[in-house]
Amino acid sequence: MTTRTLESVEEKFETFQILNEEGEVVNEAAMPELSDEQLQELMKRMVYTRIWDQRAISLNRQGRLGFYAPVAGQEASMLGSQFALDKEDWILPGYRDIPQIVFHGLPLHQAFLWSRGHMGGGQFPEGLNIVVPQIIIGAQIIQTAGVALGLKRKAKNNVAITYTGDGGSSQGDFYEGMNFAGAYNVPAIFIVQNNRFAISVPVEKQSAAKTIAQKATAAGIEGIQVDGMDVLAVYAVTKQARDRALNGEGPTLIETMTYRYGPHTMAGDDPTRYRTSDLDDEWTKKDPLIRFRKFLEGKKLWSEEQENEVVEKAKEDIKAAIKEADNAPKQKVTDIIGVMFEELPVNLREQMEEYTAKESK
């Protein structure tokens, strides 16, 4: 009788990669079929998001944005995966996953309103298949299993995809959601963006498992670990996961090995208290923008002029979006009460009357 050891299971989960840190193709057979225009679009989105991130941090420090979770370093993980989706697929984001839903169709000014806690930030355009970013860590995993089950029962040819960080994989909801998804064989994709520290706790102290990807085994679903700084590798594994789901082969857990260069959020986190400068330097060399830029330049598909155009467009779009957010109607208590229920219960009707009277003075 052959006994499978923990080590033999973990050996299965080697990091999938297409581009190395120098932008060189190291896995030609896995290269996705993307046109030159699509490759350029991926780069545009990553550059755009990096500028947006820098500007959002500045706006937060100026008091013009509320909650903000920096994304620099995770662009390949976020945008490579979203690029593999169909417009009708559902995204259930965590609070850091704003770039994915903006490129899925959410107007940028609404992303800024959401950051400010304005209810207009959650009033999405008709037909936009996203849900409001989840603040409760890991809760979106269970929601995704439910949405995917709904897609399956309605015979929709689409998937539900969600994101969390390595910290989210330590939540009970993470295991419950994957177990449900596996048991019902639903079209779901679970992406864990392993940036190594959750809020401040090293991943090695969160789990004794060598990888997060191997946690898929217990749920009976496919699991893969990918270089999250390699946008082509992330795109390729997400597309494969989507194809598997639509073919009735079940959900996939994707662990993207990535790194956030900034703090967990702008709410007072100081990453120097738990990360070393040597580690920061190590991951800076793996920057997804530098890597993909080198690859495209080698194919004569990218130039400094093109990048500057994207930078200027990002700045203009952000300026216009923050102005539109500034011009949004100020929230009133009655507005918030009015959208809570189709028919208000007695206690809220009383509050509505009370605040209506106050606001009319």
Tens-digit pLDDT profile for residues 241-286: 999 999 999 999 999 999 999 999 998 899 999 999 999 999 999 9
Tell me what the mean pLDDT of segment 206-235 comes to: 97
Residues 280 and 294 in one domain: yes
Task: State the helix-helix crossing angle for 231-246 and 75-82, rounded to 10 degrees.
Answer: 40
The model's pLDDT over 286-327, given as tens digits with 9 standing for 90+, comes to: 999 999 999 999 999 999 999 999 999 999 999 999 999 999
The answer to whether position 39 is within a domain reads yes
Residue 3's pLDDT is 60
In a domain, 223, yes or no: yes
Note whether 176 and 288 are same-domain residues.
Answer: yes
Q: What is the pLDDT of residue 8?
A: 66
| Whether residue 97 is found in the same domain as residue 212 | yes
Residue from 260, 275, 291, 293 carrying the catalytic annotation:
260
Q: Record the pTM.
A: 0.95
What is the average pLDDT across 149-159? 98
Co-location of 347 and 306 in the same domain: no
Indicate which CATH number applies to the domain containing 167: 3.40.50.970
pLDDT tier for residue 11 given thresholds of 50, 70 and 90? confident
- Per-residue confidence at 361, pLDDT binned at 50, 70, 90? confident
Residues 308 and 347 in one domain: no
Give yes or no: 274 in active site.
Answer: yes
260 in catalytic set:
yes
Q: Is the pLDDT confidence value at 2 over 70?
A: no
Residue 121 · residue 110 · CB < 8 Å: yes
Q: How far apart are CA 225 and CA 257, in angstroms?
A: 7
Q: Which domain does 91 fall in, by range?
A: 6-330
326 and 340 fall within a common domain: no
For residues 234 and 81, the answer to whether their CB atoms sit within 8 Å is yes
Q: Is residue 345 scored above 90 in pLDDT?
A: yes
Residue percentage of the chain with pLDDT more than 90: 94
Instruction: Assess whether 64 carries a catalytic annotation.
Output: no
Judge whether 164 lies within some domain.
Answer: yes
- Which residue out of 45, 50, 196, 264 is catalytically annotated? 264
Decide: 254 and 226 in contact? Cβ < 8 Å.
yes
Give the three-class secondary structure for 164.
strand
Structural domains of the chain, count: 2
Contact status, residue 125 vs residue 56, Cβ threshold 8 Å? no
Same domain, 346 and 199: no
Q: Same domain for 236 and 361? A: no
Judge if 20 and 54 occupy the same domain.
yes
Residues 293 and 354 in one domain: no
Per the domain annotation, does 105 fall within a domain? yes
212 and 343 fall within a common domain = no
Residue 1 lies in a domain: no
- Token pair in block for residue 360: 């009319």
> Looking at the domain assignment, is residue 100 inside a domain?
yes
State the catalytic residue, choosing from 175, 184, 274, 355: 274
Among residues 151, 179, 199, 172, the alpha carbon closest in space to that of 253 is found at: 179
Residues 186 and 208 both lie in one domain: yes
Element housing 349 (H / E)? helix 346-359
